[in-house]
């Protein structure tokens, strides 16, 4: 207990509080700008933190990443440009709410449940870090293969009018993911001799293209008529929040738990957490038909999940120095420089600094509410801008964002190509979201499959031999087969019904 008291003393200094606040504001801005991710915001902080004391340095990184993941929801809701990849899963849903005049409700839900999700992830981190890290460390390529396949099944549940068209979109994404040199064989595929293509298709420009540029093209081609609806005011913010918490407490708890769990696994972070949470929300919803048409339920679950994943990612990072996601990968480097070497010893030798880190987590998630509220209020001004002015601006920001990902015009080319692709797909009722999912999960599936086969000397049984892998495998196969089984049952029943 003495350590906790000490920790309070460490945190409650002007230096720590100011750096947390400044980093929060910085993260908020970066996260809200398309193309700039939470990881980039953190990487930019590295040279600055080098000249800071350990605690303010770590505090700045925590605050910055939490804000960036939340802020990604703002352009995603208002402009259909996911600010960070973690928002992509529910971009369409949130944008549909904006089209219905419920932008403020969507943003309010994003803010509230991001903060709660973040706090939940922190709570898990505090209570169970060492024990959970132990479980996560047992995951080898066999387990990850099943997880990735399970992730793919999300494509079936995320908003396709026809499952066949959802699958087409998914396979296009998977195929795109095979481009480049970054495959287990280390062989250039579909590069046609271009150096830039060796890097593959960076999925952030692709994402910006599929969501934002396709929307711009649609406006250009069909005419940019303004949204007919006026945005309804949320009124008393906190009363509305109370309603959402009551109505959707199940979704929220599930999103929190799932997000934290995905975050703890090394190699899967906030992005994947949001996808899986959204799909799960639809699967278990009493009103799945409302999904994709501007329904807050799925947003609640997935926005909770991506922020909860941030806390979860710190579990293996602090306990073993294994990054849970790309953000913690940067943070681990900083911890080393600051002499806070991650590892079990950190908890024994330096408990007060660990508690101080936890306190900053809590603080950052509490700061999120007033700061996020201010940014949201400012951002909704965008909705009053006529769409014929707004659309070219979206194009401009998308271009700069696509460039900034890797500082090359190649990013803009990818963005444009996927913008055209997305436009053609959506004009033909093929959803774009599964395509993004395919680009994200494709490399994970291939890598884990190939490495597993090398390890098992080509035996498929190995995918079920390890206990965790076996359970995951059977579960995944059941989930994959469940729509087929359902379809078969209906087929069998239908002739009977017709006859009657």
Partner 1 sequence: MVKSDIIIGLILTVLGVTVILHAQSFPAIPGQEYGAAVFPVLIASALAACGVLLAFGAWRRRASLAAVDVEHRMAGITPAGWMKGLATIALVVAYCLFADRIGFIPVMAVVLVGGMLMLGVRWWVALLVSAATIFVIYQLFVVLMRVPLPRGLLAPFL
Partner 2 sequence: MRRTFLKTLVAAAAAATLALPGAALAAYPERPITMIVPWGAGGGTDATARIVGSLLEKELGQPVNVVNRTGGSGVVGHAAIADAAPDGYTLGIITVEIGMMHWQGLTQLTYESYTPLALMNIDPAGVQVRADAPYKDVKELLAAIKANPGKFKASGTGQGGIWHLALAGMLAMDSIPPNAAPWVPSNGAAPGLQDLVAGGVEVVTCSVPEARSLIDAGRVKSLAIMADKRSDAFPDLPTLKEAAGIDWTLGAWRGFAAPKGLPADIQDQLIAALDKIYKSAEFQDFMKGRGFGVSWAPKDEFVDFMKQSNESLGTVMKELGLAK
Contact set with partner 1 (CB under 8 A) = 29-30, 33, 36, 40, 44, 164-165, 167-168, 171-172, 174-175, 178, 183-187, 189-190, 216-217, 219-224, 386, 388-389, 391-393, 395-397, 399-400, 403-404, 407, 409, 412-413, 415-416, 420, 423, 427-430, 442, 445-446, 449-450, 453-454, 458
For residue 157, the SS3 value is: helix
Choose between 128 and 453: whose C-beta lies nearer to partner 1. 453
Cβ atoms of 148 and 141 closer than 8 Å: no
Distances (CA, A) of 179 to 189, 196, 305, 452, 491: 5, 11, 30, 21, 39
What radius of gyration, in Å, describes the C-alpha atoms of the chain? 22
| Cα–Cα distance for residue pair 229/325, rounded to 1 Å | 40
| Cα–Cα distance for residue pair 143/451, rounded to 1 Å | 12
Token pair 């599964």 in the structure block, residue = 434
Stretch of 41-49, 272-280, 394-402, 428-436 contacting partner 2, by CB under 8 A:
41-49
Q: How far is the CB of 490 from partner 2 (least distance, A)?
A: 41
Contact with partner 2 (CB under 8 A) among 91, 141, 304, 306: 141
Residue 431, Cβ neighbours under 10 Å: how many?
24
Number of H helices, E strands in the chain: 24, 0
| Cα–Cα distance for residue pair 421/206, rounded to 1 Å | 10
Does residue 450 touch partner 2 according to CB under 8 A?
yes
Binding mask 242-281 vs partner 2 (x if CB under 8 A, - otherwise)? ------------------------xx--------------
Q: How far is the CB of 132 from partner 2 (least distance, A)?
A: 15
Pair of tokens at residue 301: 């679950």
Does residue 319 touch partner 2 according to CB under 8 A?
yes
Number of residues in the chain: 500
Choose between 329 and 444: whose C-beta lies nearer to partner 1. 444
Q: How many residues belong to the site for partner 2 (CB under 8 A)? A: 56
Q: How far is the CB of 304 from partner 1 (least distance, A)?
A: 29
Choose between 342 and 442: whose C-beta lies nearer to partner 1. 442
Does residue 53 touch partner 2 according to CB under 8 A?
no
Cβ atoms of 379 and 372 closer than 8 Å: no
Contact with partner 2 (CB under 8 A) among 128, 189, 406, 479: 406
For residue 396, the SS3 value is: helix
Choose between 34 and 311: whose C-beta lies nearer to partner 1. 34
For residue 442, the SS3 value is: helix
Distances (CA, A) of 191 to 178, 180, 187, 199, 418: 10, 6, 10, 9, 17
- Enumerate binding residues for partner 2 (CB under 8 A): 39-40, 42-43, 46-47, 50, 137-142, 180-182, 184-186, 188, 195-196, 198-200, 202, 266-267, 319-323, 326, 329-330, 332-333, 336-339, 341-345, 406-408, 447, 450-451, 454-455, 457
């Amino acid at each position: 207990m003495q350590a906790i008291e000490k920790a309070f003393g460490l945190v409650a200094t002007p230096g720590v509080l100011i750096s947390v606040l400044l980093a929060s504001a910085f993260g908020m801005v970066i996260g809200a700008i398309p193309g700039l991710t939470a990881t980039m915001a953190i990487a930019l902080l590295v040279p600055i933190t080098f000249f800071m004391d350990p605690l303010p340095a770590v505090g700045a990184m925590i605050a910055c990443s939490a804000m960036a993941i939340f802020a990604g929801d703002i352009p995603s809701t208002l402009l259909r440009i996911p600010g960070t990849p973690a928002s992509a899963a529910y971009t369409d849903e949130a944008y549909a709410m904006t089209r219905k005049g419920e932008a403020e409700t969507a943003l309010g839900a994003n803010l509230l449940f991001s903060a709660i999700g973040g706090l939940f992830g922190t709570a898990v981190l505090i209570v169970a870090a060492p024990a959970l890290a132990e479980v996560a460390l047992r995951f080898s390529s066999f387990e990850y293969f099943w997880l990735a396949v399970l992730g793919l099944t999300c494509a079936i549940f995320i908003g396709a009018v026809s499952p066949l068209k959802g699958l087409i979109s998914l396979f296009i994404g998977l195929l795109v993911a095979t481009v480049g040199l970054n495959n287990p064989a280390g062989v250039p595929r579909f590069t046609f001799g271009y150096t830039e293509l060796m890097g593959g298709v960076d999925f952030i420009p692709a994402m910006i293209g599929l969501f934002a540029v396709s929307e711009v093209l649609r406006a250009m081609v069909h005419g940019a008529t303004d949204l007919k609806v006026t945005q309804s005011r949320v009124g008393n913010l906190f009363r509305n929040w109370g309603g959402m918490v009551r109505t959707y407490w199940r979704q929220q708890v599930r999103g929190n738990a799932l997000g934290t769990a995905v975050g703890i696994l090394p190699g899967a972070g906030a992005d994947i957490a949001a996808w899986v949470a959204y799909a799960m929300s639809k699967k278990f919803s009493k009103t799945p038909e409302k999904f994709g048409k501007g329904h807050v339920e799925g947003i609640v679950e997935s926005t909770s999940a991506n922020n909860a994943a941030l806390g979860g990612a710190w579990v293996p990072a602090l306990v073993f120095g294994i990054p849970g996601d790309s953000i913690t990968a940067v943070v681990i480097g900083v911890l080393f420089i600051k002499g806070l070497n991650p590892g079990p010893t950190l908890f024994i030798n330096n408990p007060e600094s660990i508690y101080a880190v936890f306190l900053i987590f809590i603080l950052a998630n509490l700061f999120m509410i007033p700061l996020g509220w201010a940014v949201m209020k400012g951002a909704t001004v965008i909705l009053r801008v006529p769409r014929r002015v707004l659309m070219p601006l979206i194009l401009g920001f998308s271009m700069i964002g696509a460039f900034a990902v890797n500082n090359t015009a190649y990013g803009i080319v990818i963005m444009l190509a996927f913008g055209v692709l997305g436009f053609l797909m959506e004009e033909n009722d093929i959803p774009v979201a599964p395509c993004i999912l395919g680009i994200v999960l494709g490399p994970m599936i291939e890598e884990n499959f190939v490495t597993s086969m090398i390890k098992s000397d080509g035996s498929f049984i190995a995918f079920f031999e390890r206990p965790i892998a076996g359970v995951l495998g059977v579960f995944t196969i059941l989930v994959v087969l469940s729509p087929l089984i359902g379809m078969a049952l209906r087929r069998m029943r239908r002739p009977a019904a017709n006859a009657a």
